[in-house]
């Protein structure tokens, strides 16, 4: 298995539910960047890259999507469909998000600030990196 899904503790009562995420507690790193993906088009995938150094945690806070992770030897697809379910994506793991529901909002927490040079967008280059 490439990684595992993490179930976050849900706090709540008759007023509603709450999930609290904290750096180095539920999130296995210091959070430096937060972004979310929404309004995706049917049959369009997102991601399709790896990072040299960045680690991420992905949570579908609304709706659902699938995330396929590939470490260069094994590929595995995960379904994100609960707002208390997170998927850790380590560095040097190729990630593709796909099959988004119309109402999907995918939250991504990252351990690094955006840096274009950290992205590997060519799959063959990615395979070379994981061989070394």
Read off the pLDDT of residues 92-128 as tens digits, 9 standing for 90 and up. 999 999 999 999 999 999 999 999 999 999 999 999 9
- Could you give the percent of the chain with pLDDT greater than 70? 98
**In contact, 67 and 61? CB cutoff 8 Å:** no
Q: What is the residue extent of each domain of the chain?
A: 5-131
Per-residue pLDDT tens digits for 46-66: 999 999 999 999 999 999 999
Q: Is 49 noted as a catalytic residue in this protein?
A: yes
Of 14, 49, 51, 98, which one is the catalytic site residue?
A: 49
Distance of CA 15 to the CA centre of its chain: 29
CATH number of 5-131: 2.60.120.10
Helix (H) or strand (E) holding 131: helix 123-131
Query: Could you tell me the pTM of the whole model?
Result: 0.92
DSSP E strands in 39-128: the ranges are: 46-51, 56-62, 65-70, 75-80, 85-89, 94-98, 105-110, 119-120
């Amino acid at each position: 298995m490439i990684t595992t899904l993490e179930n976050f503790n849900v706090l709540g009562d008759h007023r509603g539910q709450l999930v609290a995420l904290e750096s180095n507690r539920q999130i296995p790193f210091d959070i430096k960047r937060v972004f979310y993906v929404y309004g995706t088009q049917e049959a369009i995938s997102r991601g399709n890259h790896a990072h040299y150094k960045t680690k991420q945690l992905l949570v579908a806070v609304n709706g659902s999507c699938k995330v396929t992770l590939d470490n260069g030897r094994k590929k595995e697809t995960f379904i994100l469909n609960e707002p208390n379910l997170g998927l850790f994506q380590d560095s040097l793991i190729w990630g593709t998000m796909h099959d988004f529901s119309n109402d999907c909002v995918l939250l991504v927490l990252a351990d690094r600030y955006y840096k274009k040079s950290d992205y590997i967008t060519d799959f063959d280059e990615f395979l070379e990196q994981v061989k070394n």
